[in-house]
Amino acid sequence: MALSPNELKAGLTVLVNNIVYLILSVDHVKPGKGAAFSRAKLRDLKTGNVLEKTFRNEQIQEAFVEKKPSQFTYKSGDDYHFMDQETFEEIIISKEQLADNVKFLKDNLVIDILCYKDEILNINLPNFIEFKVIATEPGIKGDTAKSSGKPATIETGAEIQVPLFINIGDIIKIDTRTGEYLGRV
């Protein structure tokens, strides 16, 4: 379906130059002189690159991206295996395609695989995931007010910054969008 620039809104997926983009934000501008236009911030769903584009009076093609809920089952070499929650088929995605998302993949985690015309674009992780800390320096009791931190390794092997009072074995909550520590569970 073709959209006009004034129909664009955040959250829509569109096809621009045969690349699928997610609209992050849109500003509809009506200057005193000249025709109205829309300035949009777009994120490439395949690479994650952000682009700013101005749409004047052209038609924009809407892209229908399918979200397949899938469960991460195991890793084999550089391939990650997922099970589609509806059809129970196995889906294999390479490490290169997953990019930075691999550091937050843990066994049995349910994610959304984004597909456009049966081509896998990317995955959507849950915004917040709980992980067990498997390695860090010993915690300092009572040190909860300082803003400084220390590195800690979580069960997936990723290293993140945590407060000084976190110990090995603690369960922590992490924001997967930023990779930041949110709290102890």
Helical H segments across 20-179, by residue range: 95-98
Task: Supply φ then ψ for residue 5, to 5 degrees.
Answer: -60, -30
Q: What angle do CA 126, 78, 75 make, to 5 degrees?
A: 55
Q: How far apart are CA 63 and CA 14, in angstroms?
A: 5
Interstrand relation of 110-116 and 149-154 (parallel, antiparallel or unpaired): unpaired
Report the pLDDT value the prediction gives residue 74, as an integer from 0 to 100.
Answer: 93
Segment 87-118, tens digit of pLDDT: 999 999 998 888 888 999 999 999 999 999 98
Q: pLDDT band at 35, cuts 50/70/90?
A: confident
39 token code pair: 């300035």
- Enumerate residues 6+ apart whose C-beta is below 8 A from 109: 71, 72, 125, 126, 129
Segment 134-146, tens digit of pLDDT: 999 886 666 555 5
Place of tokens 């899938």: 70
Q: How far apart are CA 105 and CA 99, in angstroms?
A: 11
Q: How far apart are CA 62 and CA 26, in angstroms?
A: 15
Tell me the whole-structure pTM to 2 decimals: 0.80
The DSSP line for 118-135 is TEEEEEE--SEEEEEEEE
- Enumerate residues 6+ apart whose C-beta is below 8 A from 130: 171, 172, 173, 174, 185
Does the pLDDT at position 6 exceed 70? yes
Taking Cα atoms as reference points, which of 112, 114, 94 lies closest to residue 102? 94
